[in-house]
């Protein structure tokens, strides 16, 4: 069982590094969100402050590297590279699903390496909701957190991937009570995350009512798990699952829409992720109300090369974020979160259809 989980993880990394696994038709919607340029910003670029506090932890900038991997030798190297980079930059990271280490203690070190390389950074443990439906509970959640001395636990929701992959576990009924128990008994904050299909307002409300500390929307427009499973099916010559992967390739709530759906109704922090590819995307996500942002795919290739490359990629994102903030005259993340935004085209239509008022963003001022 554990061996199969490990092979699957290596397949995922290999496919994400070699094939085109990004959304094709659906976009994040950030291209329809416009920050209002200030010809005279009235602030100095080198005084733009990216720091902030979230989940009781101080961040040098509002960015985490999303859950990617663990459980294999390559996974260990990738985790170590990301950990070193986020430690140096004062950011945060999540490890990939720890199911393999919960099944096989021999691979614990491939996750624990993150705490070794990042003694101070914010690190999130990771387990899947599908496993919660099948009997995982507070015992496994506690073990996952202790393995990394994690600052938080992320519970991932991936019904699309489970529905497409041959070994998928599609039992998602009765997961909420298990999440609630974990929230009550675990001694670190619990975050619920999607994996590339977004979270709607009503689902976010239900999850907030369970007492979770934050939501990571991981919306559509970036990495597509249907695409990853399409390539796995193609390699196995499984025509049916290949077709499923192809048809659901662009399934999900676009990231910008999911951000409005969640930030407009929740009182807990929202992590914006899913297709964030530049510092300008980060700025737009924060202006839409996110408390912090996350990226996975952009870090994978650099992390497979090492910590220096990873750091370079993350620093570029932060330089772009700082530049965008300078150009709209926001010298702090708090000010950026109140910056005026113009929402156009399909994204404006989406928000109106769903009962949100896009013009409210445009009328804000710094
Ligand atoms: C290779 C790879 C492996 C991933 N594995 C996990 C995982 O084990 N657990 C999880 O919660 N999310 C996992 N994700 C999903 C990411 O954390 C993230 O939610 C998603 O990729 C969207 O972000 P992106 O568009 O920036 O890639 C993985 C993503 C990639 C690219």
Helix then strand then coil, % of the chain, to nearest 5: 50, 15, 35
The residues facing 94 across adjacent strands are: 124
Closest CA to 154 of 81, 66, 79: 66
pLDDT reading at 203 higher than 90: yes
Q: How many C-alpha atoms does 1 have within 13 Å on its Cβ side?
A: 7
User: What secondary structure does DSSP assign to 234-252, as a single string?
Assistant: HHHT-HHHHHHHHHTTT-S
**Shortest-distance atom of ligand 1 to CA 70:** 8
Average pLDDT over residues 320-340: 98
pLDDT digits (tens, 9 = 90+) for 151-175: 999 999 999 999 999 889 999 999 9
Contact 331, 43 (CB under 8 A): yes
Instruction: Render pLDDT for 74-108 as a digit per residue (tens, 0 to 9).
Output: 999 999 999 999 999 999 999 999 999 999 999 99
Q: Give the pLDDT band of residue 365 (cuts 50, 70, 90).
A: confident
Written in H, E and C, the secondary structure of 55-108 is CCEEECCCEEECCCCCCCHHHHHHHHHHHHHHHHHCCEEECCCCHHHHHCHHHC
Name the closest-CA residue to atom 11, ligand 1: 156
**Predicted model pTM:** 0.97
Strands (E), 164-242: 190-193, 214-216
Ligand 1 contacts (CB < 6 A) are 12-13, 16, 66-69, 96-97, 126, 154, 156, 193, 195-196, 218, 222-223, 273-276, 295-297, 300
- CA distance to 10, 121, 294, per residue, from 196 (Å): 19, 24, 12
DSSP code, position 197: S
Ligand 1 pocket test target in 6, 223, 294 with most atoms within 8 Å of CB: 223
What is the distance between the alpha carbons of residues 213 and 234, in angstroms, rounded to a whole number? 39
DSSP letter (8 states) at residue 45: G
Confidence of residue 1 (pLDDT cuts 50, 70, 90): very low
Ligand 1, residues 66, 251, 274: which to mutate, most atoms within 8 A of Cβ? 66
- Of 305, 285, 306, 303, the residue nearest 294 (C-alpha): 285
pLDDT level of residue 183 (50, 70, 90 thresholds) = very high
DSSP annotation of 272 reads E
Considering the chain, what is the average pLDDT of its residues? Answer: 96
Q: Are 177 and 147 in contact (CB under 8 A)?
A: no
Atom number, ligand 1, closest to the C-alpha of residue 193: 11
- As a whole number of angstroms, the distance between CA 212 and CA 268 comes to 8
Ligand 1 pocket check: which of 15, 26, 218, 277 to mutate, most ligand atoms within 8 Å of Cβ?
218
Distance between Cα 330 and ligand 1 center (Å)? 30
């Amino acid at each position: 069982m554990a061996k199969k989980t490990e092979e699957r993880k290596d397949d995922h990394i290999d496919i994400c590094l070699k094939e085109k696994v990004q959304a094709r038709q659906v976009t994040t919607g950030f291209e329809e969100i416009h920050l209002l340029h200030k010809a005279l910003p009235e602030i100095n670029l080198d005084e733009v402050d990216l720091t902030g506090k979230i989940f009781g932890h101080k961040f040098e900038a509002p960015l985490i590297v999303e859950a990617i991997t663990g459980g294999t030798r390559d996974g260990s190297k990738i985790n170590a590279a990301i950990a070193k980079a986020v430690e140096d930059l004062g950011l945060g990271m999540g490890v990939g699903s720890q199911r393999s280490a919960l099944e096989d203690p021999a691979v614990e070190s491939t996750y624990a390496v993150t705490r070794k390389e990042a003694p101070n950074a914010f690190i999130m443990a990771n387990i899947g909701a599908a496993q919660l439906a099948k009997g995982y509970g507070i015992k496994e959640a506690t073990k996952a957190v202790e393995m990394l001395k994690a600052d938080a636990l992320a519970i991932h929701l991936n019904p699309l991937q489970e529905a497409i992959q041959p070994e998928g576990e599609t039992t998602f009924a009765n997961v909420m009570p298990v999440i609630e128990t974990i929230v009550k008994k675990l001694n670190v904050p619990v975050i619920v995350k999607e994996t590339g299909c977004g979270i709607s307002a009503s689902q976010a409300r239900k999850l907030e009512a369970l007492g979770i500390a934050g939501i990571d929307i991981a919306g559509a427009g970036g990495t597509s798990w249907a695409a990853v499973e399409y390539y796995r099916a193609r390699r196995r010559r499984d025509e049916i699952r290949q077709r499923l992967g192809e048809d659901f390739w662009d399934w999900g709530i676009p990231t910008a829409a999911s951000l409005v759906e969640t930030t407009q109704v929740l009182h807990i922090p929202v992590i914006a992720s899913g297709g964030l590819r530049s510092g300008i995307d980060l700025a737009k996500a924060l202006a839409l109300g996110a408390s912090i942002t996350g990226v996975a795919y952009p870090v994978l290739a650099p992390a497979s090369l090492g910590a220096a490359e990873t750091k370079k990629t993350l620093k570029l994102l932060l330089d772009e974020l700082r530049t965008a903030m300078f150009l709209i005259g926001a010298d702090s993340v708090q000010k950026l979160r109140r910056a005026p935004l113009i929402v156009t085209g399909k994204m404006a239509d989406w928000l109106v259809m769903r009962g949100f008022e896009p013009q409210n963003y445009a009328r804000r001022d710094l």
